[in-house]
Amino acid sequence: MILRFVYTLLLTLVAPLFLYGLFKKKPGKPSVGKRWREHFGITPRVNATDKPIVWFHAVSVGETLAITPLIKRFAKANPDKKIIITTTTPTGAAQAEKLSDIAEHRYMPLDFGFAVKRFLRTVQPSHLIIVETELWPNTLHYVHQHGVSITVINARLSEKSLKNYQKIPSIGSLIFKNIDLLLCHSKQDAERFKALGVSEGQLETTGSIKYDVDIPATLLDQSKQLRDSFGSRQVWIAASTHKGEDEVLLDYHQRLLETNPALLLILVPRHPERFNDVYSLCEARGLKTVRRSTASPILEDTQVYLGDTMGDLLMLQGASDVCVMGGSLFEGKVGGHNVLEPAAMGTPCIIGPSYFNFKDIVEKMVESNAIELAVENRIFDALSELLANNDKQQQLAQNASDVVNDNKGAIDKSITLWRDRYDV
């Protein structure tokens, strides 16, 4: 009780800064707008239904994309349930709205007791499923107190996080005592949770749901049509880039253009509020750039195609010959992004030295010769070598596809375990 009081006091101090960043309007970034009240638990009632309400929570775009195949499969298998999905960010909300035919979106209430309790009184969920480890102490406490079962899927715990929890054991106890079921990414994750005192009855190992990438046939068709529109020229994509990476990758592209003048770069910044800045950066370098959002034609002299629309990354990856994964260029920074997406689209991928968010997956792919891992000063060499070697491109793509297919099944296993536990 005292620990939660101290935590809530600290949260009160930092919440204004968090909300300022969340609500601040930025060009190209979706806005929370009039829905800001939802962050304080003032949320609309779920559309009239007598069905039990199942609540899925994902933080932002990445988590929403990861949980989308699970929600689709769950909805199909459980037509007698009503689904809501919460996100914290407006970009996550924009992605979640694409599921509006099977799930209603709400913003996640802030981790204050009054906001969480107000949300629970309005929505009245029967179950909460959290993707990854978005574990807020007050939310978990009041959801558990409300009699709502809590399951965490794709649960991960790094060695670093384990050591941090062990420094103040009471924090781990405060969080994990309220969780009914942790569906772990790997056996190693399960062992680390166990080291924190989580009981075996709370733990199951399912593998990563990220291997269960959902690729609709329509998406493959769109990707092929875009690729055909590029003609015979080579195309590489810099996917989900962060500030500081665009400059480096544009340097690489300009060097490559010296010997391969027809080469096209698809550049996709991670955050929509950076779209305009990255476009200006391309223009300042004299690169002939087309923005996807303008629907302008890609001409023979187009050198950069800026992916400044939401939700098109998979399709753009499938239209490329080689992918360089953003968020990975600088050691110890962002930690990389989902390398299984280009793998599922049949595009060979290069990742830099910062990939701690996908450590297990990247290491498995490296062992299978399914991805090119390069230290920061070797990324250009790896890119130029891969563009020049079609056989290697095909081999990496095939190996990556094999890794994805060999490790699928986490969604089915998660649903089965959950159904057996809660009879849903």
Which member of 63, 132, 245, 372 is catalytic? 63
* Residue 154, SS3 per DSSP: strand
Side chain identity, residue 47: N
Sign of the alpha-carbon dihedral angle for 365, 371, 376, 381: positive
Cβ–Cβ contacts within 10 Å for residue 16, how many?
9
- Among 53, 63, 59, 60, smallest CA distance to 154 is for 63
Q: Can you tell me the distance from the alpha carbon of 422 to that of 203, in angstroms, rounded to the nearest whole number?
A: 15
Q: What distance, in Å, lies between the first and last C-alpha atoms of the chain? A: 33
DSSP state letters, 49-76? --SPEEEEE--SHHHHHHHHHHHHHHHH
| Residue 191 annotated among the catalytic residues of the structure | no
Alpha carbons 126 and 120: distance in angstroms, whole number = 10
- The one-character DSSP state at 79 is T
- Cβ contact 364:403 at 8 Å: yes
Query: Which neighbouring-strand residues pair with 57?
Result: 86, 130
Amino acid identity at 288: K
Neighbours of 247 (CB within 10 A): 12
Nearest to 92 by CA among 271, 223, 326: 271
Q: Yes or no: say if 289 and 303 are a contact pair by the CB < 8 Å rule.
A: yes
Rounded Cα–Cα distance for residues 274 and 270 (Å): 8
Active site residues: 63
